[in-house]
Structure 1
Amino acid sequence: MAGGQQPQENDVPVYLFTGFLEAGKTKFIQETLEDKRFNSGEKTMLLLCEEGEEEYDISAMPCQEIYIRTIEEPEELNPAHLQELLKECGATRVVLEYNGMWQLQQLFQNLPDDWAVYQEMFFADATTFLQYNANMRSLVVDKLNTCELVVFNRFGKDMDKMEFHKIVRGVSRRTDIAYEYADGHVEYDEIEDPLPFDVNAPVIRLADTDYALWYRDIMEDPKKYDGKTVSFRGIVAVDPKFPPNTFAVGRHVMTCCVEDITYSCVVAEWEKASVLQTRQWVQVTGKIHVQKHKLYRGKGPVLQVQEVVMTSAPEQEVATFY
């Protein structure tokens, strides 16, 4: 379960705020709960997964039916305990301040089935963010991966936005970026990120260095590629459990470090798929159709293969974003 889900009628909405200590989460949540547009009478459980320097002032909030509960250890993040806390409060929604040192997957895997993350925001102190990224890259990537907005507060006029922009875009092209200055002035990132290939070409030909960007883009916006022809070099995966004439083709992609390398592939259909073997490198050309498929457990981009040419591995076998 990740951020930005479409609300269902009986869902318990979760507003998720992530970031490291002293990143500005508490201040923003306090201001949000003081805003009558957000806090107009709903019983709210404020779930805290870390203790910051600032404390919440419920008396300043227009609706004071705010019930603070704490999670001290990640093991407490389990569906039964979370439901128990919610029932104890009688709340109908959750505002969650997450511990920046905990992986988000621990939270997403343990939310009760009827809890849905409606909004996810990541806060970072611009004066320390680059150090966090250099020393704890995996935790930074974890927080950037699913958030809808990252706010760099304490941003200085002498700081290079492009340096921050590239770090965010190396993880997600859909995340909005805001820079908040010491005087409270906020600027939104308007740096354009043109894709390094022509999505309107008769055949979208991907260079080896473009695969990671293309794969993320097609998974985030598959409709953009529906009906278009694409050609790229990838490594084959076959399995007897796959439907007939079906194989997977893609690349191993590294987002932040060796530990997170994953095989990022698309489903491919070809009448001669039976001749292929796992770990073969191929140059594959075909037309993308966004459709339901067993291997996606729903809709996804399916490559209707037109041509397969055996080839060698690229100079850099693991694809990266930059």
Structure 2
Amino acid sequence: MEIPVYLFTGFLESGKTTFIQEALEGPDFNMGERTLFLLCEEGETEYHPSKFFGTNVFFETVEDEEDLSEELLVSLQKKHRVERVIVEYNGMWGLDSFYRAMPAEWLTYQEMMFADARTFLSYNQNMRQLVFDKLKSAELVVFNRCDRKKMDEVDEEGVSTKMRFHKIVRVANRKSQILYEYGENDVEMDTIQDPLPFDTEQPVITIRDDWYAEWYRDINEDQQKYDGKILHLKGRLVNGGDIPKNKFVFGRHVMTCCVEDIQFAGLVCKWTDEAASFGNGDWVTVSAKVRIEDDPVYAGEGPGPVLYCTEVKKAAPAVPEVATF
């Protein structure tokens, strides 16, 4: 049975406890599931289980990083017959210690990193490796206790504090959402635009495995930019059925925000009858020229990107197989 894991990271006084307490007080996050709550640090703020909406929350404390082991986690899972796991992780511990100890059936559903805006730059300067460790896989980064005036202040190079925060996050993680909290019911999502990781002005635009989701979104949002461009990338080949022998659909499964919304994101490819010799679902690399034109696959949607392939080769699966932003 798959066990969802909700992982909350950050340093002391970063706001983790307050956020988790409030989440467990509501039915949206706590409908009474049997929940193992792993406490890996003790902050100034305490939990109040009497206020939880659901009462099946079982606290277990892990005192030392060295105590984390698969044997321990499996025993706690069996002890409480849990349906899910919440972890308040110690900011001074490496995340790999937890991931190495996770039982096979545990799956990280969400990882959130919290930081106190007043001390974040100091932590990053003095413990950069630990900060990077918490940012690199976080889906959401929350900066608490922000002050608008201070966030807008600029340094001698003209860079605002908010932009410094943004850049620190993006060096570690291009995919995470960033949220600034200024007070109760006063939050702001980071909307700073980042350059694409690939250069669309190169003679051949090479798309790495971990760039697929960003590329797919970009080619659909800005089609004309790619008209006439040469691409080289990896994906899965879909053929058979009503698809002509000289055509196939090329794409990958993409997860936008959660497991439930994984969808196949593909484009029409034209090649030769050799396309029919590949197995449905084969991983391939393609070299192709993009043309924006009508195609029956895009019926009702107007013109779309069609890849005119010059080369199609079998390939090893992409890493990871499901593309994410």
Q: What's the TM-score bracket when you normalise by the shorter of the two chains?
A: 0.5 to 0.7
Q: What aligned pairs does 1:253-292 form with structure 2 within 5 A after superposition? A: 292=315
Residue 46 in 1 paired to residue 37 in 2? yes
RMSD: 3.4
* Pair 1:218-2:241 in alignment: no
1:193 Cα shift? Answer: 0.8
Are 2:175 and 1:174 equivalent residues in the alignment?
yes
Q: Is residue 153 of structure 1 aligned with residue 153 of structure 2?
A: no
Give SS of 2:114's match.
strand
* Contact in 2 for aligned 1:218/1:225 (Cα 8 Å): no
Does the Cα contact within 8 Å between 2:197 and 2:211 map onto a contact in 1?
no
Aligned residues: 232
Task: Kindly provide the CA deviation profile for residues 250-307 of structure 1, in whole angstroms up to 9, marking residues without a partner as x.
Answer: xxxxxxxxxxxxxxxxxx9xxxxxxxxxxxxxxxxxx99796418x687599xxxxxx
Structure 1: gaps (5+ residues): 1-9, 206-213, 231-267, 269-286, 302-322
Q: Which amino acid aligns with 2:39?
A: L
**Contact 2:209-2:320 at 8 Å conserved across structures:** no
- 3-state SS of the aligned residue for 2:129? helix
Q: Is the contact made by 1:16 and 1:96 (CA closer than 8 Å) also made in structure 2?
A: yes
Alignment partner, residue 71 of structure 1: 62
Task: Determine the C-alpha separation between the residues in 1 that align with 2:110 and 2:217.
Answer: 24
- Alpha-carbon deviation of 1:219? 7.0
Tell me the CA shift for residue 96 of structure 1.
0.5
CA distance in structure 1 between the aligned counterparts of 2:175 and 2:197, rounded to whole angstroms = 16
Q: Which position in structure 2 is the counterpart of 1:188? A: 189
CA shift for structure 1 position 182: 3.0
Which of 93, 97, 107 is the equivalent residue of 2:84? 93
Residue equivalent to 1:113: 104
Counterpart amino acid of residue 125 in structure 2: A
Name 2:16's counterpart in structure 1. 25
Q: Which runs of 5+ in 2 are unaligned?
A: 152-160, 220-228, 233-284, 286-309
**TM-score, normalising length: structure 1:** 0.64
Contact map agreement 2:110 2:139 (CA 8 A) in 1:
yes
Offset of 1:41 from its aligned partner? 1.5
Q: Deviations over 1:172-213 (max 9, x none)?
A: 1110000001344110000111237543755239xxxxxxxx
CA separation in 1, counterparts of 2:312 and 2:132?
30
Instruction: Give 1:204's aligned amino acid.
Output: I
> Which has the higher Rg, Structure 1 or Structure 2?
2
Does the CA-based 8 Å contact 2:123-2:131 persist in structure 1?
A: yes
Please state whether the residue corresponding to 1:46 is helix, strand or coil: strand
Equivalents in 2 of 1:156, 1:123: separation in Å?
16
Moved beyond 6 Å, runs of 4+: 224-227, 287-291
- 1:223 deviates by 5.8
Q: 1:109 Cα deviation (Å)?
A: 1.1
